[in-house]
Amino acid sequence: MSITRFPKGFLWGASTSAYQIEGALHVDGRGKSVWDTFAEAGRICDNTTAEIACDHWHRWPEDIALMRAAGFNAYRFSIAWPRILPDGAGRIEPRGLDFYDRLVDGLLEAGIRPMACLFHWDLPQPLEDAGGWMERTIAEPFAEYARICGARLGDRVRDWVMLNEPNVVACLGYACDAHAPGRNLGFEAMLRAMHHMNLAQADAMRALRAQDSGYTLGTVSNISPVRPETNSLADIAAAARWDAVWNGVLLEGLYNGKIPEPLRDIMAPFVLSGDEERIHVPPDLLGINYYSATTTKHQEGGWVDTGGGDGKCQRFTGMGWPVQPDGLREILNQLRLRYGNPPVYIAENGAAYDDLPDPSGRVDDTDRVAFLREHVVEVGKAINDGCDVRGYLAWSLLDNFEWGFGLSKRFGIVRVDYETGRRTPKASYDFMAQAARANAVEDGAGG
């Protein structure tokens, strides 16, 4: 059995998001978010809400203790925009900032590097009422929100993430209605929302950089290799088009200050003079969320010729997503070759399975252990290829409110009993703890 070792200082840990774990939606002056509205409209498949979720708002010391016991040295969490600015802009709610003050101090005391994400999908409803990400005017309140958070927490939080998965928000929340805000406006709306998120994150990074030149600034997106279903020219062309959308809008903007060439005409109505220069803010550290590769096939009658899933794949997660660890190494090498080997870290990687606890509440989640192990090994291979990968954070620390699926899907390495709030580490938690302590993983199967 071989061992994959990682560089000194490599980050090991987990990620979460505020809306999915905090609960306490009506506590300490928090404003309403688009996800509250979405849930109130009956759009959550199991009819649950995030009112309690994991009750992290009250149980955060316990969650930090779990990370400390695992030997984690990094934690990516999100700040809830509606807790800081209940109206999206203007009036500041100090009790929201007080909570993240306590959380950050607790993380540092435990020897854990806090990596704060400013937007993980919970857009304040008043901003959505004004047009949300469909309007370029949203960039100004987002930059101001970034300044407010930096001014309060920046003496201790040195790593700032602007957005989480802007492509997913734009696709599922604006192009269609699977996620909040559920606008269902079509493909061009997706591109418009993504462009405005590019503007907002660039303005926020500049605002934070002006505040403190020592910050590590970045953003996080769901990046995946796009593969044609067959070797036909039509399928290859379809893959190139979707790659320009899913990966290119964000990455070309950040690293090259360009709109991807295949999209220039369709994006021209909302890309103004000077925008390409404005969105050109190469991050200090780019977060990659990876779950699977994307397989495309040509479909007549539409610009976006994407197909679903991968018929050649033999394994799928509880979400129905194909298990394709090799795609993680592939996309890391694409980043290396296309963008000059930028520093990156895996900000999310994990899988939902139908976890079944034993009588003690323990979960022997061998499928998740195998998933994590295989992907971590692929990260090691990418590092050996020359990729500048600096960390691996599992998604997620806790079972949580999985957006439109509610509490029905479990991604956590720690099981949460939603009736009692009890946390029980799973076998996957033990795997991550072993990896963090050893800064290495064994390549073989098993826990």
Number of H helices, E strands in the chain: 16, 14
- Locus of tokens 């996800």: 35
| DSSP-based helix, strand, coil % in the chain, nearest 5 | 45, 15, 40
348 included as an active-site residue: yes
Can you tell me whether residue 232 is helix, strand or coil?
A: coil
Where does residue 444 rank: exposed (0-12), middle (13-18), buried (19+ CB within 10 A)? exposed
Angle CA 381–294–406, to nearest 5: 100
Residue with tokens 């857009």: 123
What is 261-292 written as a DSSP string?
GGGHHHHGGG--TTHHHHT----SSEEEE-S-
Nearest CA-CA partner of 6 in 442, 446, 447: 442
Decide: 278 and 259 in contact? Cβ < 8 Å: no
22, 144, 165, 378: the catalytic one is 165
How far is it, in rounded angstroms, from Cα 139 to Cα 128? 13
Residue among 292, 357, 290 nearest 320 (CA): 292
The one catalytic residue among 22, 252, 348, 374: 348
Residue 308 burial (C-beta neighbours within 10 Å; 0-12, 13-18, 19+): exposed
Q: Prior bond to 396 cis, omega within 30?
A: yes
Active site residues: 165, 348
